[in-house]
Amino acid sequence: MNLKTIAIGALALTAISASIATISVAQTQSNSRLDVVKKRGKLICGVNDKLAGFGFLDSNGKYSGFDVDFCKGVAAAVFGDASKVDYVPLTAAARFTAIQSGEVDVVFRNTTYTSSRDGEVGVDFGPIVFYDGQGVMVKSESPAKRITDLDGATICTNQGTTTEQNINDYGRLKKKQFKVVTYSDFDKVMAAFDQGRCDAVTTDSSGLAARRATAAKPEAYRIMSEIISKEPLAPFFAQNDSRWADVVRWTVLSTIYAEEIDLNSRNIDGAKTSGDPVVRRFLGLEGNSGKGFGLTADFAVDVVKAIGNYKEIYDRNLGPKTKLHIPRTLNANYENGGLLYAPPFR
């Protein structure tokens, strides 16, 4: 076989490989959850319905909260209409099964992004929407000042979460013995706590803040100052669907990026006259980043008009004018000392 024959063969193999890759991409896109959602005409979003500030039913019986707003944002990105979403309340134990079975399209439900969940549960995660950490809450009259003072105590938490492992790991590290008792949801955890069956409760610090803030007597509870774990909370969806992952990912990132470039729900329409190329690309006036996601060029405009930028979402649900009043700290924009940082729209 001469060199010319070898070269022709190599080119042929390259062409075949390229064709296979193109077919593979096309198949992936045609089988995307995005197509299912568009055909259905609405998003089905898994949420919490019992966690103040994040996912709950308001006084009008409507779903509200930080996580719920991101569901609305995805609907706005896909349909240009934030109302085209149905909510499915999920317990911590049921949330992953709901994705695996196809019951819901995406879950925004105070869920920690971990290696085992990403690798073994059959889901993929989107961007981190809230940086949290696990804490412990006791009754105000408790003599315990630090978590290690709870040696031998009963600590309650909910099933299907990472909190049980975290508190046991902390006990091992500190050479303390905790009796950990779990319940199917946190309402039952708090009921047991109030009835004296638990000496303390543990979950994400934001969840403890929500429970204390909405209690009949918030002063009856004390959240200890220690944080025992990292709990980056993120949305998740079915594995191996890059097109749908892009939609969820860039919906979240558009709220973060909008804050970075000083766009919000009030001024975004007026920004269309801007000469700043960064702003113009974000608005879809130049380029067409949305096309690659199966969305319109100005999908980010629809998202921000519907739910605001990240700061607006945070302030509305968790900020200083709410009962929770959770400082942004790690959840601040990177320019303000936080961890929020969005890739560029270009």
Instruction: Give the pLDDT band (50/70/90) at residue 15.
Output: very low
How far from chain centre, in Å, is Cα 37? 19
User: What is the residue type of 61?
Assistant: G
Mind listing the pLDDT tens digit for each residue in 183-221? 988 999 999 999 999 999 999 999 999 999 999 999 999
Side-chain-side CA neighbours of residue 302 (13 Å): 22
Q: Look at residue 30 in the predicted model and tell me its pLDDT.
A: 58
β-strand pairing of 134-139 with 221-223: antiparallel
Query: Do 101 and 42 form a contact (C-beta atoms < 8 A)?
Result: no
Mind listing the pLDDT tens digit for each residue in 300-316? 999 999 999 999 999 99
pTM, two decimals, is: 0.89
Strands lying side by side in the sheet with 134-139:
179-183, 154-158, 200-204, 134-139, 221-223
Q: Look at residue 28 in the predicted model and tell me its pLDDT.
A: 42
Nearest-angstrom CA–CA distance, 123 and 28: 16
pLDDT at 21 over 50: no
**Is there a common fold for 34-131+233-336 and 134-229?**
yes
> Token pair for residue 313?
């979402």
Instruction: Give the pLDDT band (50/70/90) at residue 26.
Output: very low
> Token pair for residue 2?
């001469």
Side-chain-side CA neighbours of residue 196 (13 Å): 1
Please name the residues in contact with 294: beta carbons below 8 A apart, sequence gap of 6 or more. Answer: 29, 32, 34, 38, 243, 247
Helix (H, G, I), strand (E, B) or coil at 186: helix
Q: Which CATH class is domain 34-131+233-336?
A: alpha beta
Paired with 156 in beta bridges are 181, 201
Residues of the chain with pLDDT > 90: what percent?
A: 87
> Token pair for residue 117?
């969940």
Nearest-angstrom CA–CA distance, 142 and 246: 48
3-state helix, strand, coil split of the chain in percent (to 5) is 45, 15, 40
Instruction: Give the pLDDT band (50/70/90) at residue 288.
Output: confident
User: What is the residue type of 92?
Assistant: A
Nearest-angstrom CA–CA distance, 61 and 240: 35
Segment 319-329 shows an average pLDDT of 96
> How high is the mean pLDDT of the chain?
92
| CATH 3.40.309.10 holds for 134-229 | no
Q: Look at residue 4 in the predicted model and tell me its pLDDT.
A: 45
Segment 157-184 shows an average pLDDT of 94
- Per-domain residue ranges for the chain? 3-29, 34-131+233-336, 134-229
Q: Look at residue 161 in the predicted model and tell me its pLDDT.
A: 86
> Token pair for residue 238?
């079915």
Mind listing the pLDDT tens digit for each residue in 73-132? 999 999 999 999 999 999 999 999 999 999 999 999 999 999 999 999 999 999 999 999
